[in-house]
Structures are given as structure tokens and as C-alpha cells.
Amino acid sequence: MSFIRYKKRDGKRYAYEITAYWDKELKKPRQKAVYLGVVDDDGQVQKTSTEKLQLDFGDSFLLNEFIMQLSISPILKNTLCRCGELMPLIFYRLCSQSAMYNASTWIAGNYANVILGSANLSSQNISRTLKYLGSEQVQQKFFKQYLGAVNHTNSAIIIDATSLPNSSHVGFNAWGYDDGGIGKQLRMLCVLDGKTKLPLFYRYLPGNMLDISTLQTTVAELRLMGIKISSALLDAGYFSETNVHELYEQDINFLTRMPKSRTIYKDLIAHHSSNLESLKYATKYGNRAIFVKCKAINLFGHKAYAYMVLDPVRKGKELQKLIMEHLADSEIAPTDMAGCGVMVLVSSNKLAPQDVVSNYYARQAVEQVFGFYKDDLQLLPLRAHSDDTIRGYMFLLFITLIIFIELRKTLENKFTVEQALLITRNLKCKVFDDKIVIAEMTKQQKEIFALCHVIVPRICGI
């Protein structure tokens, strides 16, 4: 038999459930009391909550609130709503440098487990998720909305590609060259917006595919998705007569570097470099003095402009190396000597000499993006073992990269993304039955949340 007993203490009433029972050892009746809570003015008992566990809170809370501010957020909901594991995997890839098979361990101790629902991050389900994300239909649906949302109807773009070593037996694997020599790999081509430096599009290619062969297809795919390209910034690997004709036919202005092996390059060095180190060609690039000489040229039947750019510091290094390599020879070719420290940039439009180098080196943004892919987001090594899962993994990281770059920009170089997520991860929370209580924030945590325009509550519901 049970009844409620009330006790008054310090102006408050407290309720206890009293249960009578027979104590067999003492052989007499006894009572057991269970605390129910504080009684409010209406006579109702305010039930107490039981603490269930403590979680890492700040990193996933920051990401969730920040992503909701981005234009990509509704696109992800509209196009990938069937993929319940997408956001947990994005959070994991941003917050952790560990392998994907550790994702279930990570989420068990993180607030993401509460805010993102009951995500199944087992290895088998991650593989199923990546296979779904690798579907061409899924990706086309995303890119149609994404490219429409960023509104790049007449865009300047940057195109470059990088090698991705991969020992798995998949269709896109092929022997190819990279910085480490020859190895099995695939290629990743990335297209960036020339103004915002945000990734627009990417393609995955066989490892033995030359850059020179990929430009026309890339331009065609972008046009079919509604991107009218106004200008393109390209590396020397895309320079060919066929590609030049294509760019002029499509009315795409371009700036690229001419390979030293080209006859046009050698003729320019032979006939127009003798007075390059003249003060009338001197200009400033950053904190360095360089020489830039412009020459109108016939580029495979089209009018173009070649810019011979001489870096005196680089010339000294290359000249010394050239001499050391030819000490045993009787002479060095004059064009080799004259070409030390010189690069030739080619443009379909005439540019100011003081601007041409900075415009060309804007393409370093895509190299920085590849650095984010490989170092910050741990793109390598590729551990997927089928074409579908590799395509899905690269698509997952492409979406993650967009969020990474937006967050990096928002942090204003005061914190790296890795630092911000590590610092905010130390903000813990306690989970009760229906409430979450967040611990006090440090000064750095407050600064990071303020930079990202995120307000952290003291208590939030489940």
C-alpha cells in the first residue's frame, strides 16, 4: 500500500511516495520513501529528471547551427532527404581525422547522436550510404539545384585536376604519374568559381587521363547544367590547339600558361626576350619586382596576347642549376639560357601587365582546395573498393568541402577550422530525460560562436 507524504522546507513543499512493507528479518512493518519532486502552487508535482550521460556538445552544435545559415542547407534537404546518414557523416568528416569505420564510436559520445537522430554509422551502412550517394541520378539532382542556387549564369571559372593514389581494384584506377612517381591512381578535376573560390563542380577520371583531353567535356557538362562560362583560368596542362579553338568557338576568354615545349614559346624567347630586363617592363607583384612584356601573337589562327614574365630571383636559381648540369658540355643552348626565370602567359584578352601575374596565380585557389581535400578532410587514402562507393565518397567530401570553406571564411583567420572544432568540442553537455544542460563556455568558445553568429542556450530540449 502506497500514499503521498508532503514535507515543507525553506518555503517549498516536497512530495514523497511512501510504501509500506513487511521486513522479514526484523519481523515488523517498515516504510520506503521515494522522492517525487517539488509541489507547485497548483498542487502538481514537478518531476525530477535523471541524468543519463555526458556528451561532447560544442562542435556538432556549432556545425548544425552554422550549416542551417548556408544556402546549401535547403538544397541538401530537398535533394538528399532520403539519406539520413548524410549529415552525421559530414559532421564526422569535419570533426574527426579518423577512418570512416570509427564513425559509430564517435557519434556515441557526441551531441550529434541527439540532434541528428538515430543514425546507423556501422561500416556496412556507411557503404550502403556511399553507394546511394554515388548514384548519377542523385548527384545530377543535387548539382542542378546547387548551381541554380549559386546563380552562376555568366561565370568566371578556375579548372585544375589532381591525382588520387588508390590501390583498390576499381574501374577508374589506372597507372599514371604524380609527384611521387608512377602508381595506380584516379584523377579528380575540380571547377571553382573565379570570384568566390567556392567549388562548383567536380569530375572523377581514370588515372591515365591527361588534363588536355578533359577540357571540352567539362565545359559541355557545365553548359548543360546551366553554367554560361565567361572566362576560364587554366594550368599549362590544358594548353593545346584543339582546346584553344574550342575556347574561342565557345566565346570563353582565357588565361593560361604556355608549356616550354611549344614552338611559340621558343620563338618568343628567341626573338623578344633580349631587352626583357628593362625598367620599362618592371612592375610589382606583392613585395617582389618582376618584369612583364606583352606581345600580340597569332595563336593557332586567333589573335591573342603573350606575356613574358621574368622573376629575377627565380632566374638566378634556374641559371645556376642549368650551368651546374652542363659543366661537362661545351655550350648551353641560347634559348635555354634566355628562358631561365621566364614563364609565358597567354590570354585571349589584353590585360594590364601589373595584373596578369596576380590574375594567373588566382588559380592557386584550386590547389588550396585540393590541399583541404587531402589534408584537412582526409580524402587520402581512398579506402572504398567499388566504383559506386568511391563516387559516393568523393561526392560526400565535395559537399563537406563547401561547408569547410564557408566555415573557414567565417572564422576570419582567427582560428583554423580544426582549431575551432577542437575548442568547441570541449564544451560538454549533460543529457537528462527530456532536457540537455550545457556547461559554461570559455572565452575562446564564446569568440568562435560569435564569429559564426551562433547563440548557445543554457538548456535545450530533446
pLDDT digits (tens, 9 = 90+) for 211-225: 889 999 999 988 888
| CA-angle at 336, arms to 333 and 337, nearest 5° | 90
**Residue 359 class from Cβ within 10 Å (0-12 exposed, 13-18 middle, 19+ buried)?**
middle
Calpha distance 48→118 (Å, rounded): 25
Q: In what order do the strands lie in the sheet with 435-438?
A: 53-56, 428-431, 435-438, 459-461
369, HSE (Cβ side, Cα atoms, 13 Å)? 33
387 compared with 73, residue with greater pLDDT:
73
Confidence of residue 309 (pLDDT cuts 50, 70, 90): very high
What is the identity of the amino acid at 36? Answer: L
Question: What is the structure's pLDDT at 425?
Answer: 96
Confidence of residue 175 (pLDDT cuts 50, 70, 90): very low
* Choice among 110-124, 236-250, 325-339 with the minimum mean pLDDT: 325-339
Residue ranges, comma separated, of all CATH 3.90.350.10 domains in the chain are: 137-376
Each residue of 43-59: pLDDT tens digit?
A: 776 655 554 578 999 99
Buried b (16+ CB within 10 A) or exposed e, 55-85: bbbbbbbbbbbbbeeeebeebbeebbeebeb
| Mean pLDDT over the full length of the chain | 85
Calpha distance 397→388 (Å, rounded): 14
Calpha distance 315→339 (Å, rounded): 8
Q: Report the run of H or E that residue 365 belongs to, with start and end.
A: helix 364-371
Residue 171 has pLDDT above 90, yes or no: no
- Per-residue pLDDT, averaged over 315-332, amounts to 82
Q: What is the DSSP letter of 48?
A: P
Residues β-bridged to residue 6: 15
Listed as own residue / partner, the contacts of 133-141 with beta carbons closer than 8 Å and 24 or more positions apart are: 133/80, 133/83, 133/86, 133/391, 133/392, 133/393, 133/395, 133/396, 134/387, 134/388, 134/389, 134/390, 134/391, 134/392, 134/393, 134/395, 135/388, 135/392, 138/79, 138/80, 139/391, 139/395, 141/79
Question: What is the structure's pLDDT at 421?
Answer: 96
Confidence of residue 448 (pLDDT cuts 50, 70, 90): very high
Give the closest residue to 456 by CA, choosing from 431, 437, 433: 437
Calpha distance 371→264 (Å, rounded): 33
Give the closest residue to 382 by CA, choosing from 204, 233, 262, 229: 204
- Per-residue pLDDT, averaged over 79-90, amounts to 88
153 phi/psi in degrees, rounded to 5 = -85, -20
- Asked whether 33 and 5 are in contact (CB, 8 A), the reply is yes
Could you tell me the three cell numbers for 275?
Answer: 631587352
323 phi/psi in degrees, rounded to 5 = -65, -45
Pick the CATH number of 137-376 from 3.90.350.10, 3.20.20.70, 3.40.50.10860, 3.40.50.12170: 3.90.350.10
Q: What is the DSSP letter of 228?
A: -
Could you tell me the three cell numbers for 125?
Answer: 551502412
